[in-house]
């Protein structure tokens, strides 16, 4: 598609919060891939200055806190989640009451004008159903409204809903044309009803810095050698990005309050099996429920992982309550829901 102009501590529910306080940990996730119709090999999203991204993020109602870079990717920790920028891929993940879709057209304009990227190779917009959709900005209160907005920007849009639409589900909007033709995969694990003793660590009251929490929790060991950028919010909450060679990344965001605890883990790193990685993540956070999505195209070595018995289905201490497999354009999507088994101890015990 061508771009046209246009220590166990109980988390205090009331810490820093008025009566009725709620924060939506569920993130909106936008991933865009670009190309130049002129075949310009020098076109590069990383040529966009930080100040320009900061100006763009004002549309979303969030700001940049810090950044880390290597030879292939720049990762920004945001006041509400993360931004990842590589040569031709843009990933924006935002939580709370952010207005992510308000940034889509400005992004397209910016990359065309600054980088020469005038072709949208692929687009993915997704999120779990919100805990409190009534508190979201107008455009984000229903997926139907989000799709209507995206349909005004992208041609050949395709919208999907997976899971139990009256309980836990996951929404996806993409464009219905084959786009990314290099190995690509994204694993996302979304955890709720998280162990309160774990969540209590990610507060200022616990007394550790973000760097100390990253090590104490075990996050540091998920990808040894990754360059990590982490931040602990006031009075609670935690975000981190990890970057690796060849554009690899992982990111974790934590909303620790007990009545709406939420943790997300996401990575695009290709591995032979995600089972061990997901098990490590579950051992760290010990959620009561989690949902998992694996999105991989035909070039990815994990594309057929769902065909391997047990790799995406069996996790000690959890019962799978739903699983759906979906094939669209050149991607396979696996969506699964799990809940803690009453007759099994939580992971890590």
Q: Which residues are catalytic?
A: 24, 27, 81, 95, 239, 253
φ, ψ for residue 278 (rounded to 5)?
-65, -40
Q: Which are the contacts of 122, defined by CB distance < 8 A and separation ≥ 6?
A: 31, 32, 33, 174, 175, 179, 180
Pairwise CA distance, residues 3 & 115, whole Å:
12
């Amino acid at each position: 598609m061508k771009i046209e102009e246009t220590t166990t501590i109980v988390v205090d529910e009331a810490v820093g919060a008025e009566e009725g306080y709620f924060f939506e940990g569920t993130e909106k996730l936008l991933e865009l891939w670009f190309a130049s119709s002129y075949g310009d090999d020098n076109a590069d999203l990383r040529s966009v200055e930080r100040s320009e991204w900061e100006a763009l993020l004002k549309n979303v109602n969030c700001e940049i806190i810090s950044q880390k870079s290597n030879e292939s990717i720049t990762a920004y920790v945001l006041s509400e989640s993360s931004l990842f920028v590589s040569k031709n891929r843009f990933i924006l993940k935002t939580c709370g009451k952010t207005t992510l879709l308000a940034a889509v057209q400005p992004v397209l304009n910016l990359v065309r004008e600054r980088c020469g990227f005038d072709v949208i190779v692929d687009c993915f917009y997704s999120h779990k159903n919100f805990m409190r959709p009534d508190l979201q900005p107008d455009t984000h209160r229903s997926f139907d409204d989000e799709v209507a907005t995206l349909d005004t920007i992208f041609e050949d849009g395709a919208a999907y809903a997976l899971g139990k639409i009256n309980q836990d589900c996951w929404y996806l909007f993409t464009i219905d044309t084959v786009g990314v033709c290099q190995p690509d995969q994204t694993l996302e694990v979304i955890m709720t009803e998280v162990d309160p003793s774990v969540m209590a660590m990610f507060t200022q009251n616990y007394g550790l810095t973000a760097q100390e929490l990253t090590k104490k929790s075990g996050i540091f060991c998920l990808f040894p050698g990754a360059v990590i950028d982490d931040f602990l919010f006031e009075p609670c909450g935690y975000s981190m990005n990890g970057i690796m060679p060849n554009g690899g990344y992982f990111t974790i965001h934590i909303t620790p309050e007990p009545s709406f605890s939420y943790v997300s883990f996401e990575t695009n790193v290709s591995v032979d099996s995600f089972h061990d990685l997901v098990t490590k993540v579950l051992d760290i956070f010990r959620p009561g429920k989690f949902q998992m999505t694996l999105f991989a195209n035909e070039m990815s070595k994990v594309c057929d992982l769902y065909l391997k018995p047990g790799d995406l289905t069996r996790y000690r201490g959890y019962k799978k309550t739903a699983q759906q497999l979906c094939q669209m354009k050149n991607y396979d999507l696996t969506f699964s829901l799990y809940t803690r088994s009453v007759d099994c101890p939580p992971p890590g015990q």
